[in-house]
Amino acid sequence: MNLFERLKSILIAAVGISKAALLLAKANLLATFGALGIITAIAFSFSKGKLPNIPANHMTLPASSPFKHAIAGIGFVEANSGNIDVGSFASGIVQKIYVKEGDVVLAKAPLFALDTRSAVVQVAIDEHEIKALEQCVQAAKATYGYAEDSYNRYRKLKPGVKSHSEIKKVEFEFQKSLADLNTQKIRLEQARSTHELSMIALDKLIVKAPVAGIILKTYVNEGEYISETTQTPIITMGSHKPLYVRVQIDENDVWRYEREAKAVGFLRSNGGGGYPLTCVRFEPYAMPKNKLSGNSKELIDTRIVEIVYKIENTHDDVLIGQQMDVFIETSKSG
């Protein structure tokens, strides 16, 4: 091999070594940058990239018993009169609705009215009939008074002045006028009774509040037809001052229950504020616990006993129908 070929081989080898060195440098540079990126991401995640600690929302914490030993139960807020499903005495078209949800009404206040036109006309007819019969009674009284006066004068006459037949005729006229007067009086009383029935029928078409309280729900609109045989309530209402809580406790805890013991109710998801409760009555009947799904055929072995409590004072944030977690103090540990 001559000198030229040797120099060429050395030059080719030098170029190969240079390329290899350059590729190795590039690889190391990429690895270096990759490592730096990973380290930077980790440092950022543990410093500024970490989310701040969010404080717990205490309004969502479940209630806990304030007593050392307690009976726990589920409470349902209800009106002290019970939730009254107002129905209708008669069938017909709803002519007027006088209330809406949230209205506070007095006892006997009108709630809704059916079509009253026929009933109003019937009342007017009966009133005219009464006035006519009152005039008939007055006429019968006048006839009776004249007949009575004639009869009394004929009785005072000396024998022989008037014939026996004339005296009998006057006596019969007197008796007839008395019978006519009594008949007219009876007809007048019948007309007054009929008028009273018409007034009752008219009054049935205007349904009134059975108690003073708050309107919880209305289920019909003006113009709708309702039937007296329907099972669907038309208006739901109840007396809301004070509110009651119907508490369900497990039958296994009944032996631990003490009537005079303290009780506290908490609204669901509001464990921070409790409402003192006072026992109203204990209902001594154990029934199946079938209110989880509302199905009367629900297969549940547990039976419950209901106790009704009164919520002390007035609280606008407590609504009828809400659920409560109720704790009843007991001296008997379970």
Q: Helix, strand or coil for residue 21?
A: helix
Average pLDDT over residues 283-292: 76
pLDDT of residue 164: 67
Which of the four pLDDT bands, split at 50, 70 and 90, describes residue 235?
A: very high
- Report the side by side order of strands in the sheet with 104-105: 84-86, 235-238, 213-218, 104-105
- The more confident residue out of 122 and 68 is 122
Q: What is the DSSP string of 237-263?
A: EE--SSEEEEEEEEGGGGGG--TTS-E
pLDDT value, residue 153: 78
Q: Are 269 and 323 in contact (CB under 8 A)?
A: no
Tens-place pLDDT, residues 243-279: 999 999 998 888 889 888 899 999 886 766 788 999 9
**CA pair distance 222, 216, nearest whole angstrom:** 18
Cα-flanking dihedrals φ and ψ of residue 92, to 5°? 160, -175
Q: Residue 215 forms beta bridges with which residues? A: 237
140 vs 153, which has greater pLDDT? 140
pLDDT recorded at residue 285: 87
What was the pLDDT predicted at 295?
55
Q: What is the pLDDT of residues 183-227, one digit of tens each?
A: 999 999 999 999 999 999 999 999 999 999 999 999 989 999 988
Span of 65-74, 147-156, 294-303 with lowest mean pLDDT? 294-303
What phi, psi does 72 have (nearest 5°)?
-100, 140
Q: How far is CA 122 from CA 117, 119, 130, 188, in A?
A: 9, 5, 12, 17
What is the Cα–Cα distance from 193 to 126, expressed in whole angstroms?
A: 9
Answer with the residue of higher pLDDT: 61 or 91.
91
Torsion, CA 35, CA 36, CA 42, CA 45, rounded to 10 = -140
